[in-house]
Amino acid sequence: MKYDQARWQREDEDRYEPLLSEKDGERVDVDDAPLPDDLTRDSLDLPEISEPELARHYTRLSQMNYGVDSGPYPLGSCTMKYNPKFTEDVAALPGAQVHPDRSAESVQGTLELMHGLQDYLARIGGMDAVSLQPPAGAAGEFTGILVAKAYHEANGEGHRDEIIVPDSAHGTNFASAAMGGYDVVELPSGDDGRVDLDALEAAAGEDTALFMLTNPNTLGLFERDIEEIADVVHDVGGLLYYDGANLNALLGQARPGDMGFDIMHYNVHKTFATPHGGGGPGAGPVGVVSDLAEFLPAPRVRETENGYERFDPENTIGKVHGFAGNWLVLVKTYAYIARLGDAGLADASAKAVLNANYLAEQIDYEVPHGPFHHEFVASAGDQDAADVAKRMLDYGVHPPTTKWPEIVPEALMTEPTEVENRETLDQLAEAFNAVAREDEDALADAPQRTTAKRIDQADAARNLRLSWQSLDE
């Protein structure tokens, strides 16, 4: 179909014309209303400062922060990898700025990209159909659970009310299962940190709706028995869910669909390259095997002989987000996959695995289990893992995830990601090893060299202070 920009612009104008009114020659879509006096610029008590003062203020603020653009950020499981800036450029292209309510005919390029991304993700995961709607990995889990529920109900199996989750799983797995209305059955890991097949056989039965698993698991260990695991779950009529948080270890090497998984989500910020979100816009597309496709959230995008169109899957669970999901995050995901290609993706996962294994070899803390994929979990032993983390900040690096998974005492869960070079990995190892040699006092007083010292982390994350406050307040 030929893209006729002028025509679609006219169509949009016709559609919105009745909603618009004239003001000073400009068309606006809201009526005039007086501004409250206390919100006008004149009433604001703003400081008068010069440009250099302003520039220094914001530069100083930025230096108080630590991010992937400042240094290594080996936060295990969270996968804080560097997001290449070209994806931002792509998302900033004028063609990406489209209103989600526009007619399908007028946004064929947008729909083609979404269709292409559905295909990319399906191919990477070994799935048959993908929905781009969920806005985060956890939202993808919840969506996948609702899809599984709809599938079981449609097959007269609505009595299945249990979801099995390994004790090493991320907290969102337990939470999503409970939010979906299921009883959560926690599965203890075997001595090797992997799924214990006997325990799984004992837990699985006619009430099992789903078994949620990530592979490699949160210890960075590949579940070698994955085919037997899939058989155990399928033999009792359950479905196997893949938590895609660790898919960056498998890209181009192996696919969840080929291992027997029926449903999966993709954490696009961990596997590809989009910002992690911090509660902000993210994306957690969900993929399924063909039997489950009819239940996916609406809308999806398909190709017809007249171009691309949105459609509602036959027995859709409905919508889990506005419109088609967080569109610009999806644009960045598409750009990253298209730029790297099959070989680039396989190379990224190979380097993620190499970096984790290299770093695990360099550090003096005990690292139980192995061999690893993209992350490993060391034990801080007699030290408190949270203290170790605070002290590492003094050595100028971001610490790993701590105290989880609980099956490793005083866990230091470390994921260097594929983007770090050998010098940076050595710098990380030096920080680990320097802290490992230190005594309790040095650790208890840490951090000494950061702007904020020990803060209440839960409070700081939940009650953000977004404006300047004096220290006495």
Ligand X SMILES: Cc1ncc(COP(=O)(O)O)c(C=O)c1O
Give least dist CB 270 to ligand X, A: 7
Q: Which amino acid is at 17?
A: E
Judged by CB under 6 A, the number of residues near ligand X is 14
Greatest Cα pair distance, the chain, in angstroms, is 75
Cβ nearer to ligand X, comparing 212 with 443:
212
CB hemisphere CA count around 37 (13 angstroms): 0
Q: Which two tokens stand for residue 439?
A: 């005594």
- Which C-beta is closer to ligand X: that of 78 or that of 113? 78
Shortest CB 329 distance to ligand X, Å: 11
Instruction: Measure the CA–CA gap between 82 and 90, rounded to whole angstroms.
Output: 16
Distances (CA, A) of 188 to 174, 192, 196: 14, 11, 7
x/- site string to ligand X, residues 150 to 179, per CB under 6 A?
--------------------x-x-------
CA count, 13 A, side-chain hemisphere, 86:
8
- In the complex with ligand X, the residue whose CB is nearer, 87 or 271, is 271
**Which pair of structure tokens corresponds to residue 24?**
């000073």
Closest CB to ligand X among residues 226, 446: 226
Per the DSSP assignment, residues forming a β-bridge with 208 are 162
> What mask of x and - would describe binding to ligand X in positions 50 to 79, judged by CB under 6 A?
---------------------------xx-
Contact map string, positions 244 to 283, toward ligand X, x by CB under 6 A? -x---------------------x--------------x-
Residue 466's DSSP bridge partners are none
Asked if 137 is part of the footprint of ligand X (rule: CB under 6 A), the reply reads yes
Between 111 and 412, name the residue whose CB sits nearer to ligand X: 412
Looking at the Cβ atoms of 78 and 446, the one nearer to ligand X is 78
Using the contact rule CB under 6 A, the part of the chain among 57-65, 109-117, 130-138, 336-344 near ligand X is 130-138
Backbone φ and ψ of 389, nearest 5°: -60, -45
DSSP letter assigned to residue 273: S
Q: How far is the CB of 359 from ligand X (least distance, A)?
A: 18
Position closest to ligand X via CB: 137
Considering the complex, state which of residue 71 and residue 281 has its C-beta at the smaller distance from ligand X: 281
Stretch that binds ligand X, among 11-19, 131-139, 300-308, 414-422 (CB under 6 A): 131-139
Q: Give strand ranges (E) for 94-236.
A: 129-131, 162-166, 183-187, 208-213
Instruction: Rank residues 242 and 432 by Cβ distance to ligand X and give the closer one.
Output: 242
* Contact (Cβ atoms closer than 8 angstroms) between residue 148 and residue 208: no
For strands 376-379 and 208-213, give the pairing.
unpaired
CB of 388 to ligand X, least distance (A): 20
Least Cβ distance, residue 76 to ligand X (angstroms): 8
Strand ranges inside 146-203, DSSP E: 162-166, 183-187
CB 403 within 8 A of CB 442: no
Q: Are strands 286-288 and 300-304 parallel, antiparallel or unpaired?
A: unpaired
Q: Which is nearer to ligand X, 221 or 429 (CB)?
A: 221
Q: Do residues 289 and 262 lie in contact, with contact meaning Cβ atoms separated by under 8 Å?
A: yes
Distances (CA, A) of 254 to 123, 376, 421: 11, 20, 25
DSSP 204-226: -STTEEEEEE-SS-TTS---TTH
Residue 143 or residue 214: which is nearer to ligand X going by CB? 214
Q: Which is nearer to ligand X, 111 or 132 (CB)?
A: 132
CB of 457 to ligand X, least distance (A): 15
Phi and psi based region of residue 369 (left: phi greater than 0; alpha: psi -120 to 50; beta: remaining): left
Tell me which DSSP letter residue 467 carries: S
Could you count the other beta carbons within 10 Å of the beta carbon of residue 365?
A: 19
User: Which of 118, 168, 189, 214: binder of ligand X (CB under 6 A)?
Assistant: 214
Amino acid letter, 303: E
One of 134, 216, 256, 284 touching ligand X (CB under 6 A): 284
Q: Applying CB under 6 A, which part among 121-129, 132-140, 146-154, 323-331 lies near ligand X?
A: 132-140
Contact criterion met (CB below 8 Å) for 165 and 200 = no
Q: Residue 246 or residue 383: which is nearer to ligand X going by CB?
A: 246
Q: Which stretch binds ligand X (CB under 6 A): 101-109, 111-119, 136-144, 363-371?
A: 136-144
- Min separation Cβ 170 and ligand X, Å: 3
Beta strand pairing status for 162-166 and 208-213?
parallel
Name residues contacting ligand X, limited to 68-127 (CB under 6 A): 77-78
Contact stretch for ligand X (CB under 6 A) within 134-142, 158-166, 178-186, 290-298: 134-142
The minimum distance between CB 172 and ligand X, in angstroms, equals 4
Residue numbers of the site for ligand X (CB under 6 A)? 77-78, 136-138, 170, 172, 214, 218, 243, 245, 267, 282, 284
